Structure 1
Amino acid sequence: MKQDFMTAFSGADGRLESVLTDEGETFQILEDASGLRTNADASVRIVANYETSVAGDGRVSGVKLYALLQTISPLPLTAGEFEGGVKTEPSEIRSIWLGYDYLNVVLEVKQQGKHLFHFVEDGVSIDEDSGRAKVRLTLYHDVSSDVQDYGKRAYLSVPLKQYMTEGVQGVDVYFSIYTYSDSFKTYVLDETGLHVEGN
């Protein structure tokens, strides 16, 4: 059994029918034990426990979904679009990587209470020589309590497809979070891999 970030697609009745992996492969859903229902003919970003079924010729014939949850995947907004201002409560990144049209993040938080996440678009620029877009983002994180006593994971998936405009060959992401060290840390994901700036 595997656990991965994927994009799932529903049919006319809202049932999930297929998935697109972050390797760019599309599979039919042969069985969905999760029972998730969504809007008709929609796509939804998920983290799923699943297994593949292999046909007699050795090819994958489809997948069986077990437990899954929807990731937090809103389109980034500029700072001025947040009515109450940008909130940056602390958190820590357990893992971060570029997927298929998404930036995937597994986040750990310590506070009790309700957590609200979003993504702040700090700036976008395009290098015409390389054809790459540089996207600067900050994690929006608001918490309804200041009690810190346990660890909890959150699964985020930042949409990036909207930055692949005409002439853009790739996206370099600068993703900043406020940490428990009372400082910002920036995760840079570009052609050369992952780099971290800050403490």
Structure 2
Amino acid sequence: MRRSGIVTVCVVSMKKHCCSLLVVLLSCLLASCGDDDYRYPSVKQDFLTAFSGTDGRLESVLTDEGERLRIVEGASGLRVSADTAVRIVANYETLAIGDGDVAGAKLYALLQTVSPVPLAAAEFEEGVKTEPSEIQSIWWGYDYLNIIVKVKQQGKHLFHFVEDEAVVDENSGRVKVRLTLYHDVSSSVQDYGKRAYLSVPLKQYMTEGVRGVDVRFRIYTYSGCFKTYVLDEAGLRVEEG
């Protein structure tokens, strides 16, 4: 398998044709204050799309509700490629700017999600790995499918998305996408559970004439079988086997 660009500290390669397999394990802790007069900030934790400027610094974010927020303060020194978009999970607070009718965001903590464009199985030179994991939650984002995965093994966890099929249904005008979670791990020793944050890009399936995307997302679980999460116009359902 091509392993160029792999890093092990919460950094995602966004190159379309590179099998970037990444580890994302988040533990974001916010300190509290014992002063009764302290006003606790209204902090959210969400998946966001962040946009960088010419110097690679993050300048704004787009929420999954479609709201664009300028970053007015950020605790992260994250630098990415200039004038690009990256997918992140962030603890942030929304702020009023000026007269209060322009929204901004103060970032307290963030990390990049695992967000490579899905690849066909043939592009994984060492084959498709499906080590077990469990989905904690899965839902639609803004041009993305957001997933929080729980893993138990120690070591490095490498994730990607395998595109098994993508077919446009001429009757509905929707593209039917079947995906499998690629998961490789360097250790079989289990310990306490950890979380990985994944965000599958879907915009590439919205070609001319396509009305929407239906997804069947398959993972191999700790129970020793595959589980498929189906997200379509009818909502979310789970199929065993």
Same fold, TM-score > 0.5, yes or no: yes
- The question of 1:15 aligning with 2:66 is answered no
Describe the superposition over 1:131-172 as per-residue Cα deviations: whole angstroms up to 9, x where unpaired.
Answer: 101100000000111111221100000000000011101000
- The question of 1:102 aligning with 2:157 is answered no
2:154 alignment partner, one of 99, 112, 120: 112
Once the two structures are TM-superposed, the CA of residue 54 in structure 1 deviates from its matched residue by 2.2
Aligned residue pairs total 199
1:185 alignment partner, one of 227, 236, 241: 227
Describe the superposition over 1:27-61 as per-residue Cα deviations: whole angstroms up to 9, x where unpaired.
Answer: 11111111211111111100000000024755352
Any stretches of 5+ residues in structure 1 without a counterpart?
A: none
CA distance in 2, matches of 1:57, 1:44: 30
Q: Give the root-mean-square deviation of aligned CA atoms.
A: 1.1
Describe the superposition over 1:94-118 as per-residue Cα deviations: whole angstroms up to 9, x where unpaired.
Answer: 0000100000000000000111000
CA distance in 1, matches of 2:200, 2:48: 12
- The question of 1:33 aligning with 2:33 is answered no
Question: Aligned letter for 1:21?
Answer: T
CA distance in 2, matches of 1:59, 1:65: 19
2:47 corresponds in structure 1 to: 5
CA distance in 2, matches of 1:55, 1:31: 12
2:209 alignment partner, one of 152, 167, 188: 167
CA distance in 1, matches of 2:45, 2:109: 9
2:117 corresponds in structure 1 to: 75
Question: Aligned letter for 1:102?
Answer: Y
2:35 corresponds in structure 1 to: none
Question: Aligned letter for 2:55?
Answer: D
CA distance in 1, matches of 2:102, 2:65: 14
Counterpart secondary structure, 2:166:
strand
TM-score (norm 1): 0.97
Assess if the C-alpha contact under 8 Å between 1:52 and 1:60 holds in 2: no
1:194 corresponds in structure 2 to: 236
1:42 corresponds in structure 2 to: 84
Describe the superposition over 1:37-94 as per-residue Cα deviations: whole angstroms up to 9, x where unpaired.
Answer: 1111111100000000024755352111110000000010011000100000000000
Question: Aligned letter for 2:146?
Answer: N
TM-score (norm 2): 0.80
Any stretches of 5+ residues in structure 2 without a counterpart?
A: 1-42
Higher share of residues assigned strand: 1
CA distance in 2, matches of 1:188, 1:87: 21
1:143 corresponds in structure 2 to: 185
2:5 corresponds in structure 1 to: none
